[in-house]
A and B are shown apart, each in its own frame.
Chain A
Amino acid sequence: MTTQILMPALSPTMTEGKLAKWLVKEGDKVTSGKVLAEIETDKATMEMEAVDEGTIGKILIPEGTEKVQVNEPIAVLLAEGESASDISAAPKKAEATKEAKAPAAPAASAPKAAQTAPEPTETGGKTQTVREALRDAMAEEMRKDERVYLMGEEVAEYQGAYKVSQGLLDEFGSKRVIDTPITEHGFAGLAVGAAFGGLKPIVEFMTFNFAMQAIDQIINSAAKTLYMSGGQMGCPIVFRGPNGAAARVAAQHSQCYASWYAHVPGLKVVAPWSAADAKGLLKAAIRDPNPIIFLEHEILYGQSFQVPENDDFVLPIGKAKIERQGSHVTIVAFSIMVGKALKAAEALAEVGIDAEVINLRSIRPLDIDTIIASVQKTNRLVTCEEGWAFSGIGSEIAALIMEQAFDHLDAPVARVAGKDVPMPYAANLETLALPQVADIVEAAKAVCYR
């Protein structure tokens, strides 16, 4: 059987080209790799090499021909023992890909929660700081699973830059509690490799501001590889550390990254407020087979809450918590803003507005169902975050509510967010830049038309 030599596509966008020059003539013997012709593409002049061995039986397109379509036969190659009389002229064209419509996202893989398990009880227990709760969560999971280890700057001998890993080196030793050099991109990538290799790393970023050095590894390697590998390369890893504004550390050390990571399919993003959140969600994050961004808050580390004493207290990722029931307005918040929202609710109660406060706990997957159910009751929604409003979490929630609960709204959704400026240093300006209780109160009154 003779072989047709087809006009090749020599760039991702080429559909036709000029056959500039033949470098072989009829009757020439060719071997794999021999340059046959020069082709002018939309970008450059390229050489075309032979793939198969044989003799050039016939040149179908003379040199100098313009607009030769990709996949058009340009010559015929004869195998040993064949002659020109064996040439038939049936051109073979590759079939164009058909236009297809994307199927709708199945409920389970859409970026929202599909969690139906009942919430564990959170009453009783002991009083703990968020810092202690995080430490206990890691220690308990490390006791259970040899594959879990902690790495980061100052996590071991110094006991943590914010003392979150206090005591872990003593208990688990330097094999599992590892001080790294200041090398975020490197150790984030190393931990991703370790996760591919069967371990379950917890990576502490001293703060999430420094994780920008590592964001390529977090997104391009940790988040996307499962998909790119057709499901082979799961990456069970937790990236954790303080996120958002501390106090008086200015723009490079005070940013909320929730919306940055929440944007990315393949990641889960968790933001605890209370010590119980911190413990239950961190344990869930460590057990989860996916890459998790675990956003803590420096200001919360020292705050105390009740935490269940049960060793197996785990909170489901993707499930929000109604912290305060109310009927007039829904206030959605995460991390430190939950505390501010609860204070705002108290102030609102004094003026006769009964606010419901939802603690998101997880940002991706987002428990939109809980928010919708609340809005169906209150018909009013205020979102709160420390980050900037533009492309923020509040913007996403507003869009989802507009799409899924438009008819239940009696007022436009209000976003309370950080001011659209880099964080200033001066105390007065910093207070102005951050969303305060009064801002939430005002927004809630506004959506209630009060």
Chain B
Amino acid sequence: MAIKKATRGATPAGNSAATTEQLVEFYRQMLLIRRFEERAGQLYGMGLIGGFCHLYIGQEAVVVGLTACANKQDTVVTSYRDHGHMLACGMDPKGVMAELTGRSTGYSKGKGGSMHMFSREKGFFGGHGIVGAQIPIGTGLAFAHKYKNDGGMSFAYMGDGAINQGQIYESFNMASLWSLPVLYVVENNKYGMGTSVERASASPDLAGRGEPWKIKTMTVDGMDAVSVYEAGLEACAHIRAGHGPVLMEVKTYRYRGHSMSDPAKYRTKEELEKMRSEHDPIDSLRQTLIGLKVTDEEGFKAIDKGIKEIVLEAAEYSQTSPEPDPSELWTDIVVAA
């Protein structure tokens, strides 16, 4: 995992659990995700990325805040909206972008694409295209942590649309029954494709879905990385102490369409504009950093520049890397016994 935990002697930021060093790192990570996604959108527009491509723009604070609570042996699963999670896990932007363009140097050698990427090394177990299917898998990773007694826990992310899949409740039941170390995160961005939460869920209280299974529940402002981080610390402490799973609903918002071809007719421009101008996670953290006199204009410029270089390099790499060799068609179907 990429972000260091608070170390003793570091400077606390106001009365927050995060240090100022961490805040700068949150800012950097969120900006990296945003710039990466914008560039991916552009490459899609150029026809270099095909098929479905789901951008994470607007939701950056969620994965950045929570990944800061993770340890090295922890594992992560999420849906197809996965680029942000991979970058936060410390996966190489070049390898992620090259997978998006379907090149041999991508994380899945070009055979998985935007929705299906993995890195055992970074504890990232996908990238899953079937809505909800990652949740039993994340629960199984938690089962394996407990079975092996390796001290790790599992982070299992899902959308507000996914929460209505039956297998989620099958997982909640087993995770609670067996006290598995798993943090379930519902990234409530208000819509599953074009269907709002109100039109899909009988009760809008999605965290409440954990209660029948005696799962600890939390609701968090997902547009603020520090709130997410603090909630994550509390959740992870509960889980690591062996008290079983936590279900955290994180209220967030996606700025772009569901995937690249979504004109987003189901919401108003005003709704989007209001979120962008009043609740943007990157802008607000920037204001915090200015208020705390941690970073000045020059400092931000340097961060911007560094990130722009990383993303441009990734974009370049994703276009100059070769396509997979035709012989790759026939590899990785089964492991040789």
Contact = CB atoms under 8 A, between A and B. Distances in A.
Most chain A CB within a 10 A radius of its CB, from B38, B75, B107, B334: B334
B337 A186 contact: no
Contacts, number: 220
A305 B255 CA distance: 66
A32 B35 contact: yes
Contacts of A186: 136, 139, 167, 170-171, 173-174
Interface string A69-100: 01100000000000000000000001000001
Interface of A: 6-12, 14, 32-33, 41, 43-46, 48-49, 51, 70-71, 94, 100, 102-103, 105-106, 108-109, 149, 175, 180-181, 183, 185-199, 216-217, 220-221, 225-234, 236, 265-266, 268, 284, 287-290, 317
B173 A181 contact: yes
Main secondary structure of the interface of A (DSSP, over half): loop
B286 interface: no
B148 interface: yes
B174 A183 contact: yes
B310 interface: no
A103 B329 contact: yes
Interface of B: 35, 38-39, 41-42, 44-48, 50-52, 75, 77, 106-112, 116-120, 125-130, 133, 135-145, 147-148, 154, 166-167, 170-171, 173-174, 177, 255, 257, 260-261, 263, 265, 326-327, 329-337
Contacts of A290: 334-335, 337
A339 to B, nearest CB: 28
A8 B45 CA distance: 4
Contacts of B171: 186, 189-190
B331 to A, nearest CB: 7
B108 A51 contact: no
Most chain A CB within a 10 A radius of its CB, from B133, B166, B335, B337: B337
B110 to A, nearest CB: 7
Contacts of A227: 111, 332-333
Nearest to B178: A178
Contact of A51 (B39, B112, B130, B327): B39
Nearest to A235: B335
Contacts of A188: 136
B335 A234 contact: yes
17 contacts: A109-B331, A181-B173, A183-B173, A189-B136, A189-B167, A193-B77, A193-B137, A193-B142, A196-B125, A197-B143, A217-B136, A225-B118, A226-B332, A228-B127, A229-B107, A229-B112, A289-B337
Given A8-B45, A51-B41, A193 B337 contact: no
Contacts of A44: 261, 263, 265
A32 B147 contact: no
Contacts of A268: 334
B44 to A, nearest CB: 7
Contacts of B38: 32-33, 49, 51
Given A225-B126, A226-B334, A45 B41 contact: no
B70 to A, nearest CB: 15
Contacts of B261: 10-12, 14, 41, 43-44, 46
Contact of B333 (A70, A190, A193, A266): A266
Most chain B CB within a 10 A radius of its CB, from A32, A186, A193: A193
Contact of B109 (A105, A192, A231, A265): A231
Contact of B45 (A10, A33, A149, A221): A10
B333 A109 contact: yes
B245 to A, nearest CB: 13
